[in-house]
Amino acid sequence: MNILLIGAPGAGKGTQAEKLSQLLALRHIASGDLFHKAFEEQTELGLKAQRYVDLGELVPDEITIPMVMLHIEEPESMQGVILDGFPRTLAQSQVLDAELLRINRQIDLAIHLKVSREELLSRLAGRVFCQVNQHVYHIKFRPPKVADRCDLDGSKLYQRPDDAGEAMRRRLVIYFNQTFQVLDYYSRQNKLREVDGNSSIDSVQAMLLSVVNDYTGRETRV
């Protein structure tokens, strides 16, 4: 099974995909995390992409599409994937479909995690990551046990630079301008499902699981 999680910056894609991937035994592939990792490793791709990420702009398709496709075609992805943050444009959706068809696979569900603008702003403003493994917290909604330290590896927590100021505003504008085309594309294929992402992490997870269970006819539980 291959699932897309579509949602605005701060909607909870990463938070939910991490849990769902464990429950459903699907690989979680997040385009933003891949860019971050490539930058940390100072690869040519990472350095090129970072210029766009810092400004809150989309990284060009000729960099983004091959990077994500490479991960989808790896052996660890053969049992299925949850894509988080990709596709974000109509062109990315079309190439993804064509490339999947080539390897006899397809997108099963495109789930739209819908969150109000006010909630997005407060999620982004309070989000912090750990320096070592990028574990995600929120100072109010998912606080670490010890202030400023990761529960899992003890490393210091930091705020993503593009979660504030002009870059954050740019990301929201681009999302609302571009992504309706992606929603429309999957809606025409009857693959689009909508989930209200405004409630607690656990209740959003339960709603997502119920969408997947409806589709598979099986009963995976939390």
The length of the chain in residues reads 222
Give the phi and the psi of residue 3 in degrees, each rounded to 5. Answer: -120, 140
Nearer to Mg ion (CB atom), residue 161 or residue 214: 161
Cα of first residue to Cα of last residue in the chain, in angstroms, is: 18
Nearer to ligand AP5 (CB atom), residue 66 or residue 216: 66
Q: Which residue from 199, 181, 215, 15 is spatially nearest to 106, judged by alpha carbons?
A: 215
CA 119 to CA 138: how far, in whole Å? 13
Specify the stretch interacting with Mg ion by CB under 5 A; choose among 6-14, 46-54, 137-145, 178-186.
6-14
193 in active site: no
By CB under 6 A, is residue 53 in contact with ligand AP5? yes
Alpha-carbon separation of residue 12 from 18, 21, 112 (angstroms):
10, 14, 11
Catalytic residue among 27, 105, 123, 127: 127
Nearer to ligand AP5 (CB atom), residue 145 or residue 218: 145
Specify the stretch interacting with ligand AP5 by CB under 6 A; choose among 37-45, 98-106, 177-185, 198-206.
198-206
Burial class (CB in 10 A: 0-12, 13-18, 19+), 118: exposed
Determine contact, residues 152/145, Cβ cutoff 8 Å: no
Candidates 32, 105, 130, 186; binder of ligand AP5 (CB under 6 A) is: 32
What's the closest the beta carbon of residue 13 comes to Mg ion, in angstroms?
Answer: 5
CA 33 to CA 115: how far, in whole Å? 21
Residues of span 8-67 touching Mg ion by CB under 5 A: 14
Catalytic residue among 13, 27, 123, 193: 13
- Binding positions for ligand AP5, rule: CB under 6 A: 7, 9-15, 30-32, 35, 52-53, 56-59, 64, 85-86, 88, 92, 123, 127, 136-138, 141-142, 171, 200-201, 204
Q: Mind telling me the catalytic residues?
A: 13, 88, 127, 160, 171
